Structure 1
């Protein structure tokens, strides 16, 4: 069971819990010792039964929380975190969404979405050679990062890629493309921090601004020169914003 005051970090599509490894060193010791980073179904070392449901994953994680937790969700993981916060408000102390979204594709009532996505192409490449193309993806996210930070992310690759391509690539991508969490925003009452990179082409800042405009209690943080993994490329700035947020609401 997850202990009280635990921080729950939820990774995104195609990744696994090791994506958060470099961030841990930038957090104060109490936070380092008290966090939980599960793998989504069919990602990393987590089993996969053929079903990938954002609602079900949120329910399963909520069942493990024995006290209000601090949630951090990245990309698809943010959709899981948002769903958990909406369905189980009593189990959430704070919510941090980074490079996340409530809907992926654009519509007549949602111009903030993408007109098209290259994620299907990414899925094909991940199945072809996961270590090669995941390393390429991460390197693209680090174009404007400090050299020392780039080195720390490069050292992450062996642990990150040890499981091979996620079994749930297609199912999770389908869930991501079909999800529309906009109705859940009215159920979010906890403090919310929104952290986005101004060079993110996968979840552009306008997606976060849409959430920010509809959550009056939310706080906005846009990191210059950061792309889709601001916690990797700009860990010091990200950790500072996150810790200050936690301190204000703990």
Structure 2
């Protein structure tokens, strides 16, 4: 497996629906200094300048995937995980591995009775108006075609993305491992940054070399 991984790759961190780049900073800071990394901002989210070509979920997804121009490991929170999975499908030659945290991964969530977060997020966060009504298409049927290594991190107390979703995704990807963090809620990657950082570092050493 390690022989298939490019020796030179960057780490791209994708926020969730908040668009907050600071969300990933405690984890990103734990990576070794020689690792090239970028925390991507979403136009129109969390104070980032809007762009005319980003106006719905699909155009935001295109914007994100357009930033993947070299071999990359994508670390993604919640909504960002949908973009990460789509990137792995569209650019399998560049996406070396995925780290997905508390995400839907693009599957149909209706069987899981998850908490609807959109209204509260709109009230509490600086989000573009179109985001609340935009819906992503399910890409569930394509998950089994993703061959890169996948690290799945879930909290055991997350009503937005319950553990059952992580367990299902683990079954769909060809190479996936799932770690469940005790007392972890939807913001587990920020609240439990030290533990998450250790799991990612271990994944990096074992799978990426």
For normalisation by structure 2, the TM-score amounts to: 0.85
Of residues 165, 178, 200, the one that matches 1:242 is: 200
Of residues 7, 14, 20, the one that matches 2:11 is: 7
Map 1:55-204; keep pairs closer than 5 Å. 56-101=59-104, 102-103=106-107, 105-106=109-110, 111-114=111-114, 117-123=116-122, 125-126=123-124, 130=125, 165-166=126-127, 168=128, 170-175=129-134, 177-204=135-162
Q: Distance in 1 between matches of 2:19 and 2:11?
A: 19
Give a deviation string over 1:100-135, Cα, whole Å, max 9, x none. 0124641xxxx2353x61421331x22xxx4xxxxx
Q: Distance in 2 between matches of 1:173 and 1:181?
A: 20
Higher alpha-carbon Rg: 1
8 Å CA contact 1:85, 1:188 repeated in 2:
yes
8 Å CA contact 1:13, 1:173 repeated in 2:
no
Of residues 172, 181, 186, the one that matches 1:223 is: 181
Matched, 1:40 2:42: yes
Q: Distance in 2 between matches of 1:214 and 1:103?
A: 10
Of residues 168, 172, 179, the one that matches 1:210 is: 168
Q: Distance in 1 between matches of 2:160 and 2:139?
A: 17
8 Å CA contact 1:7, 1:72 repeated in 2:
yes
8 Å CA contact 1:7, 1:36 repeated in 2:
yes
**What is the Cα deviation at residue 173 of structure 1?**
3.2
**What is the Cα deviation at residue 27 of structure 1?**
2.6
Cα distance change on mapping 1:195 and 1:46 into 2, 3 Å: farther
Cα distance change on mapping 1:216 and 1:113 into 2, 3 Å: farther
**What is the Cα deviation at residue 172 of structure 1?**
2.5
Cα distance change on mapping 1:219 and 1:39 into 2, 3 Å: same
**What is the Cα deviation at residue 53 of structure 1?**
2.7
Root-mean-square deviation (Å): 2.1
8 Å CA contact 1:81, 1:95 repeated in 2:
yes
Matched residue, 1:136? none
